Amino acid sequence: MESYDVIVVGAGPGGSTAAAYLGRSGFSVLLLDKAKFPRDKICGDAVSGKSMNVIKEFGLEEEIRKDPRHGSIFGVAFSGTNGEIVEIPFAAAKEKGRPPGYTLPRIATDNILFQNAKKYAKVKEGFAVSDVIFEDGYAVGVKGRDTVSGKDEEYRAKMIVGADGVGSIVANKAGQGALPPEHACIALRAYYEGIEGMTNNIEIHFVKEAMPGYFWIFPIGEGKANVGLGILMKDVQEKKMNLPLLLEKIIKENKIFAPRFANSKRVSPVQSWTLPFGSKIRKSHGNGWVLVGDSASLVDPFSGEGVGNATTSAKIAAKIIAGALKENNFSEEYLSQYQVEMEAALKPELQTSYMLQKLGRQEWLLNFIIGKAHKSEKVRETLSAMLGSEEAKKEFASPLFYVKMLFA
C-alpha cells in the first residue's frame, strides 16, 4: 500500500494549487482526480485577481496569454431591468501594459494549473475516490477505483485535502451536511459565437425575466463568448423555474439581447452546475483533513466566482499542513489554524458580497445605481475603485453610500 505525506482529492484549481505548494516544499504528495486532463469544468471562465496571484507566483501567466482561447478583460458592463447599460473600466485598465483581467475556458485554466502540479506531485488521473479511511478518529487515507482497470485501490497519508468540489466525498465522509438552498446557486452556461456588440468587458445584466438572478456574457478568444444565467437555488425551487427555457427566452425574446443574438450560433451544449456560496462557509478542518475551494463552500455570493478563493484557500492550507507535517500534529485543534486564517482572508469579502447579493434583489435600487453611473463619470470612477478594492467594496453595503448617490 502506497503512503504519502498528503493526499489531495480533486485536481481542480484548489487541489492543483495545494499539491504544487506542498510538493514544492519537499513533501510527498499524491494528487487524485476521477477525470483525465484536460477536462472541462462548467464555469463563467473569468480568471480573477486572486487566482492570478498564484498563476504569477508559479510563472504561468504566459501560458494564459499564448492560448488563443483567452480573452483580455478591461472592464465590466452592467444593465438594470430598465435596459440602461453602463460600462465601468477597471481602475487598472488605465495603466499601460497587460490587461487587468483575463477569461479562459476552464478546460484550459485547470489544465495549466494541473500540469504545474505534476512538476511537484505524483498524480493519478481516472481514479474515483469513494471513501475516506478513518482510524482512531483521524483521516488516514482514501479508497477508490481506477476507472480504466476497474481495480479497487487504497492510498494512505498523514493528511487528506478535500478539493473535490461541491459534491465533495471528503466533506461528506467527514460529516459535513448538504448545502442549504439559500446559500447555493444554480447556474447554466453555453458557448456562443457571432454575438453582436462584443467588447473587452465582461457583461452582467439584471433582466426582469431572471430576477433576482442575473444573465451574463463573458467574451473569450476566437470570437466566442461564455453566456449564462445564475439564480439562487432557493428561488429556483420556490418558483419552479425552468432555467434552460429561461435562458433561451432571454436570448430570443428580450428586446436588448434578441438583436445581439440574431445571427449568433451556439457551439456547445447548455450545461448546469451548483455553486456553493461562501455566505455559509463549511467547517473545513478536522483530525487529519481539511477542505479547500468549493468543497469548503467558498464561492463569492454576488459574482459567483470561485477559482480565486479556491487557490487562496489552497495556499493557506498548504502552509498550515506544512507546519502540521513538521510538528507531526494532525489534530483538529492544530488544523483549526487553517479555518481561522482562511476565514480571516476570505470571510470579510464573502460577507460583503452576501450583502450585495441581498441588495441586488431590490430592482429599484439596481436601476437607481446603474442610472447614476450612466450619467456621472464620478460615479463610474467610484464604482470602478470599489470593484477592485475590498475595503472600498464595503461602501456598497453602507446606507450612507446610497444617500451620497442621491446627490451625485
Q: Is residue 66 part of a domain?
A: no
> Which is nearest to 151 in space by CA: 121, 128, 122, 123?
128
**Looking at the DSSP assignment, which residues form a beta bridge with residue 301?**
none
- Rounded mean pLDDT, 73-91: 90
pLDDT of residue 94: 60
pLDDT per residue as tens digits for the range 304-355: 999 999 999 999 999 999 999 999 999 999 999 999 999 999 999 999 889 8
Q: How far is CA 76 from the centre of its chain?
A: 17
| Res. 208: pLDDT tops 80 | yes
Mean pLDDT rounded to a whole number for the chain:
92
| Res. 18: pLDDT tops 70 | yes
Q: Is residue 378 part of a domain?
A: no
Q: Is residue 300 part of a domain?
A: yes
Q: Is residue 196 part of a domain?
A: no
**179 near 278, Cβ under 8 Å?**
no
Q: Is residue 6 part of a domain?
A: yes
Q: Is residue 212 part of a domain?
A: no
Range of the domain at 18: 2-60+106-179+277-356
Domain count for the chain, please give it.
Answer: 1
Task: Quote the DSSP letter at residue 377.
Answer: H
pLDDT per residue as tens digits for the range 50-72: 899 999 999 999 999 999 999 99
Q: Is residue 331 part of a domain?
A: yes
More confident residue, 386 or 241: 241
User: For position 55, which CATH number holds?
Assistant: 3.50.50.60
End-to-end CA distance of the chain: 67
pLDDT of residue 215: 96
Q: Is residue 20 part of a domain?
A: yes
Q: Binning pLDDT at 50, 70 and 90, where does residue 106 land?
A: very high
Longest dimension (CA), the chain: 69
